[in-house]
Amino acid sequence: MDLMSMLQSQMSDNVLQQLSQQVGAPPEQTASAANGIFAALLGGLAGNAASSQNGLQSLIMALDRDHDGSILDDLGGIISAMASGNQPASNALNGAGILGHILGDRQEAVAQQVGQSSGLSTQQVMRLLPLLAPVVMAVLGRARQSGQLDMGGLLQTLLSSAQSAQSSGYGDLIGSLLGGALSGQQGEQQQSQGGGLLGSLLGGLFGKR
């Protein structure tokens, strides 16, 4: 299961048009920024889930409680409502809260990197982040609802999807997020290894399991 491809498939012409209107950018640049944001969020989720058993369990609890994937049935309408502030209070649509859990204080750093690669400003990417974070959780939630992701399968899928995103040109971004999610000696050791930051991180994470 390639989560990156699943996320990209949600970016229909209608959804991209809605997002582009919110940030004042051409759909092509918005799509590029969305790919970078998806890659960053997958990297953050993978790092958080792999860094501790509690991190993985917290993610599963959040998916089972708040994210059944139903927002994907009318994603264009949902994004329009979120951007206008007219959506009902819902953990599934709380983009700022989701970002806080996944990226913490790294949101602006992510926005800067995504902006550099997509041509959008940091401010434009910061407006996209809370609109797209619920999409990531919805895709994960729908896959879990369908019985495809148990605890071990979820971690494996996140890590393999991070590898897929690396091959699409987001290796440095995901690597920095995975590195930030791991603290202490292990993180320092992995960041000093050759062969690519993301590859060494994923190797270390698989070794921990």
Confidence check: pLDDT of 202 > 80: no
Q: Which residue has the tokens 């605890």?
A: 151
The widest CA-to-CA distance across the chain, in whole angstroms, is 49
17, two tokens:
């048009």
pLDDT of residue 194: 31
**Between 162 and 114, the higher pLDDT residue:** 114
pLDDT tier at 201 (50, 70, 90 boundaries)? very low
User: Who's near 168: CB < 8 A, 6+ residues apart?
Assistant: 4, 35, 39
Where in the chain are the domains?
3-208
Confidence check: pLDDT of 179 > 80: no
50, two tokens:
């792999």
Q: Which residue has the tokens 């809605």?
A: 18
Give CA–CA dist 132/30, Å, rounded. Answer: 11
Q: Please, what is the end-to-end C-alpha distance for the chain in angstroms?
A: 20
